[in-house]
Structure 1
Amino acid sequence: MISFLIILQTIPRYYTSVSVCSSDVYVADEVKSVLVMEGDSLTLNPDLNQTQGFKMIQWWFGDISPVIAEIYANETSYPNDEIFRDRLELNQTGSLSIKNTRTTDSGLYKLEVQHNSGASYMTFSVTVYASGLSPGAKAGIVVVVLLVFAAAAIDMMCYHCFFSDLKKLKRLLVMEGETVILKPDIKVKRDDEILWKFGPQGICIAEIREGAREIFDFGDGEFKGRLTLDQTGSLTITNTRTTDSGAYELQMKRSSGVSDEIFCVNVCGYVEEETKFVMKGRYITLSRFNKEIQKNELIVWMFGDQETLIAQMTGGSRKTFDGPDGRFRGRLKLDKRTGDLTIRRMKCEHTGHYKLQISCSS
């Protein structure tokens, strides 16, 4: 059973979300610097590959990283609009436009794109300078922007030194105690040599050499009895722990050369109750950590101390209910892939406990 406590805020406030995951990996492919005069418009164009098929596009802004624009299930929304007040426009291509720019719009804008083959990231460093600045002051701003860009580039170089031969990167999120399978995209051949490494030190934990499979323990036997390697090269980790979080590198050697894949795994501890804050009139999504529903799973969402049924899903069947006094009428939406519950146009009467129950249907 997973429980959520929702608290509705009527006064604008920002909250920094706290993840229960023990590690996270943010991969920025590049940082672009943008300089614009106050009052002008600007467009942050990531030049995305439209053939990849986008599942979700999200833009963040600033140190506290609130989501300011997103496209999910082909619907565009602008959470935390108090910051930009109708000055944003998110195109289906992923480009973000800001109208009537202000100096307070200066900062880092981060983009995450979830697509069919994984995820990609990009960062834009935006500087909005006042229109009355002298040419010398403007030149100084340009120097500062270039210095920021250089510092960011150094950080990325350090990251790419670790993943110097990176060809593919996958991010996986799993709840503690569950099983996770790391499946390579490349088909393994008979004479291939398979090597699985874990962590920044690249410690070998499993291998296939000359057709023989072997599992290795390291440290205090963190993976003892929990790893399985099959002939396809897939690595299975059972009874996962939060200490299993990190980077898993698959190295495949064959006569034609060496190929690599990286799996970034986050194992989240079990959360009995999670508190969420939402503004009146906004929407909120209660998430199952982006896990896809299995064919025999029954998903049940309940509300309040009486555990009133408000939504359920099994197989291809989805149902939502109006709830006590019809307070949820026309406001609930179930994600057909994950079972996540979205509540739209929040009111004070929607404050309370939401419980998710997952079981095997008959």
Structure 2
Amino acid sequence: MFVDVIQWRFGNEITLIAEINVTADRITVYDDVLDGRFRDTLKLDNQTGFLTITDITDEQTGDYVLEVNGVEQKTFNVHISESVESVFVLEGNSVTLNSNFAVVIRWRFGNTLIAEINKQDDRFTVYDDVLDGRFRDRLKLDNQTGSLTITNITTEHDGVYKQETNFWTTEFFLAVFIEISVKEGDSVTLNSDITEMKRYGWIRWRFGNKKTLIAVINKRVDRFTVNNDVLDGRFRDRLNLDNQTGSLTITNITTEHAGVYKIKMMVSDSFSFKGFRVSVYAHLPVPVISRDYLSSSCSLVCSAVNVSHVTLSWYKGNRLLSSISASNLNISLSLPLEVEYQDKNTYSCVINNPVINQTQHLNITQLCHTCSDCCGPTEAVIRLVLSALVGVATVILLVYDIRSRRAEQHQAHIHTSET
């Protein structure tokens, strides 16, 4: 078969990235397509048509299609086998770093030995007093598998763990999630902790369980990209990427932006990872204090409607009296309190979440005045009935009095006539 044109295409959109035109004696690489992710990384052999991708990153992973004279010949699926496995965990939780079977296994944190197994000598040891005791009572070594569990994790345990055997070394990067709470409508910055990115450094920000790529920096090809339109455009016009440090700012944040953010970085020729769990809280209403007039005592109720992830509390001065919490979405909360009519203490009802609180102070004089000043519905009915009875009795007496006088006048008139 006479070969006239060889073309290489990439990705779901089958983007042309390189071609050889034998007739025109032309070799071309289109390394500026797809936001420049292939810039200075493609090499096309003019003799064989082989395509080489240098300095590959996960942006270049996917399907590569070879076409000859316009006909698809072969598809290559390229993926990266990570040399470092990233493990993300919440502070206070536990994590297990899995091991492959081996007779001798050594676990290191950085370069410090923290645990080892020698099955031949039947020796299993954890060195939890090293590094100022940060691992004390936190390491568990599985005698059968060699897996290492770290319990009650803190940010002190963040870093690179190495599993060494006589034949191979496996690295894990353990990243402890940084918890951030923010009010709806505010801005939040997720810091990379990089002062300034180096010439060949790169950063990728991902969001959510599906690890959606939302921002990229590739210094080597001078590429700075924010993917505003992913996930139905929820990040549109809200992402600001610092070109020097790689830190990411989300502006005018809403509950749609709550979740997990992960950053993978190439810094000083080694991988690094960070994770953030962002919680977004809606604005809270001021709680309402009302009185239950059906009760004979001064019974009060503090309430709030359409709230979630909040705590509603009664305070006497600075002392907590009672509280109730809710994690469900958009529910109503109410909390009762009974006080004495002549109570001189200060009471307040507070609704709060981790970033907002609203307080309503109790005005005892207004809500808990005695029944000499006013009365409740039951007493009002009783008074109304008594007033009606008194009115009826008054009318009866008045009618009786009028009839009595008329009778007396009639008797007097008859007596006068007889005389």
Q: Give TM class, smaller chain.
A: 0.3 to 0.5
- TM-score, scaled relative to structure 1: 0.36
- TM-score, scaled relative to structure 2: 0.31
**Greater fraction helix:** 2
Ranked by relative contact order (alpha carbons within 8 Å, sequence separation 6 or more), the top structure is 1
